[in-house]
């Protein structure tokens, strides 16, 4: 297995010290796991980029955050779906990510608290994403994005919108997403024990979100989408982390997209773990990933 970059190794050493004895959130009660996710993500949500506007909203009946960067172009907006294994995290844990995306993409970002598994398994979270999309303000052109399980929900939403012949986003921004449930893929085997996300944790997240009987549906596992469904998607930007059990998910998806002759842009980020973009305060690779996503987004939506 490849080694973490120097900066990533330093962050992992810090996390090992700060989080010593905390344990695996997927083996706790979901309430304790969520509280832990809120607390441990506080360290990444300080010294945030200053926005022209940052306020709490109710969007489609859900609590949300609307952040507008000082360099807002005035024409675009992004609906961002936070990650957390479909079960953890919130607009609070992803405030820093939302602001960095807004600043990099030069447009507002809307995040929201969709209902979480296991109390609300598939398709509840996806239904909430679709509701958030349908409630958007049509004064701007909207794109959609997400990280990890949020990337799964964002891509699933695009597939569902296409199937229902509804308006699609202008673009999709998908960061280290989970697109299938094949735990024998190259990256699952190579990174089974982490660092960070492990195969065992992903199995438990999947059990919370979608039982085996539902994992053959493309809006659960987008890698199962047909060529026709994938061909109809808007232009996508995707990235993936090297030291991530989910790497193969993105690689397989990108291979299918490129085989269709599409021009989607994919970045492989070496030496980093799953969720690395949450660590923008301490990790140069994370800061560079936001900058790169913004460059691609501005080009796609020019």
Relative to beta strand 109-112, strand 76-81 is parallel
Is 238 part of any domain? yes
Distant-in-sequence, close-in-space partners of 96: CB < 8 Å, separation ≥ 6 = 44, 45, 48, 278, 280, 281
Q: Which CATH number does the domain housing residue 187 bear?
A: 3.40.50.1820
Neighbours of 140 (CB within 10 A): 17
Is 1 inside a domain boundary? no
List the pLDDT tens digit at each of the 302 positions of the chain: 689 999 999 999 999 999 999 999 999 999 999 999 999 999 999 999 999 999 999 999 999 999 999 999 999 999 999 999 999 999 999 999 999 999 999 999 999 999 999 999 999 999 999 999 999 999 999 999 999 999 999 999 999 999 999 999 999 999 999 999 999 999 999 999 999 999 999 999 999 999 999 999 999 999 999 999 999 999 999 999 999 999 999 999 999 999 999 999 999 999 999 999 999 999 999 999 999 999 999 999 99
Q: What is the number of domains present in the chain?
A: 1
Name the residue with tokens 């890698």. 223
Q: Is the residue at 217 inside a domain?
A: yes
pLDDT at 2: 86
Q: What is the distance between the alpha carbons of residues 162 and 31, in angstroms, rounded to a whole number?
A: 35
The confidence score (pLDDT) of residue 1 equals: 64
- Domain of 105? 6-300
- Whether residue 125 lies inside any domain: the answer is yes
Token reading at 248: 């193969």
Do the beta carbons of residue 156 and residue 223 sit within 8 Å?
no
**Would 267 be classed as within a structural domain?**
yes
Please tell me the pTM assigned to this model. Answer: 0.98
The answer to whether 268 touches 138, Cβ cutoff 8 Å, is: no
C-alpha distance from residue 243 to each of 195, 197, 262 (Å): 7, 9, 27
């Amino acid at each position: 297995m490849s080694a973490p970059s120097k900066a990533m190794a330093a962050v992992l050493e810090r996390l090992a010290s700060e989080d010593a004895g905390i344990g695996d959130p997927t083996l706790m009660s979901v309430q304790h796991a969520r509280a832990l996710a809120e607390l441990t993500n506080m360290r990444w949500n300080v010294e945030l980029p200053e926005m022209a506007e940052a306020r709490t909203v109710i969007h489609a009946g859900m609590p949300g955050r609307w952040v507008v960067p000082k360099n807002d172009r005035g024409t675009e907006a992004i609906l961002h779906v936070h990650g957390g294994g479909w079960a953890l995290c919130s607009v609070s844990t992803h405030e820093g990510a939302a602001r960095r995306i807004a600043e990099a993409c030069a447009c507002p970002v809307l995040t929201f608290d969709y209902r979480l598994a296991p109390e609300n398994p598939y398709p509840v979270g996806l239904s909430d994403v679709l509701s958030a999309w349908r409630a958007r303000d049509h004064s701007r052109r909207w794109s959609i994005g997400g990280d990890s399980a949020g990337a799964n929900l964002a891509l699933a939403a695009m597939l569902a919108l296409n199937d229902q012949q509804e308006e699609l986003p202008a673009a999709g921004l998908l960061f280290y997403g989970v697109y299938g449930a094949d735990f024998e893929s190259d990256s699952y085997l190579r990174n089974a024990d982490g660092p960070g996300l492990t195969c065992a944790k992903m199995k438990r997240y999947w059990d919370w979100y979608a039982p085996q009987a539902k994992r053959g549906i493309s809006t659960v596992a987008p890698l199962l989408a047909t060529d026709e469904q994938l061909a109809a998607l808007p232009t996508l930007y995707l990235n993936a982390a090297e030291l991530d059990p989910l790497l193969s998910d993105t690689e397989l998806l990108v291979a299918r997209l490129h085989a269709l002759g599409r021009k989607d842009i994919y970045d492989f980020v070496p030496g980093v773990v799953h969720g690395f973009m949450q660590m923008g305060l301490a990790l140069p690779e994370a800061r560079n990933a936001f900058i790169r996503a913004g460059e691609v987004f501005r080009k796609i939506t020019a």
